[in-house]
A and B are shown apart, each in its own frame.
Chain A
């Protein structure tokens, strides 16, 4: 049984992966590029790896350069997430994602957030604007 939800493309790409949900805003500079583990103190994902996950979180945070610097290092080591699903896009996160070729979507219906849980297999099709929970 798979369920499909509409979404809006921020940065292009089609990918499948496992869901990891962050209730806190996210700064990619505060992730260890060698392991993909979140090192930000008191962050809800502190100590967990975001490598190869489809990361669901509210919004980006951090100065005008650190998101790109953090994402770039993760891209180089291959320890970054596969895609991002966000609620509140800001210029810094959006520009960084497009430049680093990271698939990102926003404007996801409430019903998706009620349904999705950590570990779900998800297909993100930013180009078509669809999210499918596969299992």
Chain B
């Protein structure tokens, strides 16, 4: 790989040990993928996990003196102060989250602690070269904005933030952004929830190819597109999708396939969506809680829930996970007050795959997100999966039927 003088100096240690470690990893990555050179990145996002490997790696870099040239936004761990008010957090878990916060602050990250930075704090322009990890973020960056990122790991994105570079390969190149498989949607996709099921149903039939959707509505909400990407990367590994007439690199079918023919055509029927829904949901019955915000809810979604519970009483506890920026707006708009009056709450800076939810282990909840249900299996949480309106109705009765 051809390196500039400055990049070679980073590799040789002239910018310190931490930068050297990051550049060494990136050169190795570039060589694997036959990258001819490095290119500058102007935005980064690190999917911190607040788990052992994540903490080990960021502390190793901090101790080696690394500082981010391009300050990354970061994923949520959990909101320690909030959960200490409603449950008991073990000393060990408290230590871990405190160390995670400190290490990312020291390395120069922007502590957004949210998984949807692409909606409000870290928004790229068309064609911009970035390094985004986080499975809902990568497809949104590539597909919805037409900016460019590979499906970075949390660690490779952190290296890019430190060096301000990324090797040139994969989805940064025009030819690799071409659609490969035509997905003909014959199902009735009418609300944000249907995009969750669509995203979950497609990867099984796709096999590491870039999908081009046709026959979808031309005015999807931001939440619908967020849901589609998140589920495509829960059930599979899909860094980019096209929707003809919606996403910027798919103005027409020819545009999406860059003039080539699709390698294959697959059809998704209503039966496919119903079948995947039946497969991933836990059995109906009494529930103990409702949980939303995987990925983090945006303000419109918070408003929708607030409207549904306005003046009513919830039978079970309800949480919406969101960013601190959205929570602030929701407070200002009166949504938080409405939710709290009904018995719900908003919690910021928090992911569902964190030990702070231990008080819900072994219990059953309702959610609109297949991704939420998938990752919490390891934590022994059960979920009935329904669209938001039905989740609220269930939370008011304490039961899903």
Of A14-22, A49-57, A91-99, A112-120, which binds chain B?
A91-99
A96 and B155 contact, Cβ closer than 8 Å, known pairs A63-B135, A68-B53, A69-B49? yes
Chain A positions 90 through 110: 1 when the CB is less than 8 Å from some CB of chain B, otherwise 0? 111011101110000010000
Partner of A95, one of B25, B236, B375: B25
Establish whether residues B133 and A65, one from each chain, have CB atoms under 8 Å apart when the complex forms: yes
B359 within 8 A of A: no
15 further contact pairs, Cβ within 8 A, besides A64-B153, A65-B133: A59-B208, A64-B47, A64-B152, A64-B157, A65-B51, A66-B49, A68-B57, A69-B49, A69-B52, A71-B53, A92-B153, A92-B156, A94-B29, A95-B156, A106-B32
A72 and B52 contact, Cβ closer than 8 Å, known pairs A90-B237, A91-B153, A99-B155? yes
Partner of A64, one of B25, B31, B57, B133: B133
Q: With a CB–CB cut-off of 8 A, which chain B residues contact A71?
A: 53
Q: With a CB–CB cut-off of 8 A, which chain A residues contact B52?
A: 69, 72-73, 76
> Nearest 9 A-B pairs (CB), nearest first?
A72-B53, A95-B156, A64-B133, A65-B49, A92-B153, A95-B153, A68-B53, A69-B53, A65-B154
Establish whether residues B151 and A88, one from each chain, have CB atoms under 8 Å apart when the complex forms: no
Interface centre among A9, A96, A106 (most CB of B within 10 A): A96
In the docked arrangement, what's the CA distance between A73 and B159, Å? 21
Total contacts A-B at CB 8 Å: 91
Q: With a CB–CB cut-off of 8 A, which chain A residues contact B150?
A: 91
In the docked arrangement, what's the CA distance between A98 and B56, Å? 15
A residues with a Cβ closer than 8 A to B are 8-12, 59, 61, 63-69, 71-73, 76, 88-92, 94-96, 98-100, 106
Partner of A92, one of B33, B49, B151: B151
Q: With a CB–CB cut-off of 8 A, which chain B residues contact A68?
A: 53-54, 57, 153-155
Interface residue range, chain B: 35 or more
* A–B complex contacts, Cβ < 8 Å, 5 sampled: A9-B31, A59-B237, A64-B133, A64-B135, A91-B170
A65 and B54 contact, Cβ closer than 8 Å, known pairs A90-B237, A91-B153, A92-B151? yes
Establish whether residues A89 and B32, one from each chain, have CB atoms under 8 Å apart when the complex forms: yes
Give residues of chain B (36-61) contacting chain A, Cβ–Cβ below 8 Å: 47-49, 51-54, 56-57
Interface centre among A66, A88, A91, A99 (most CB of B within 10 A): A91
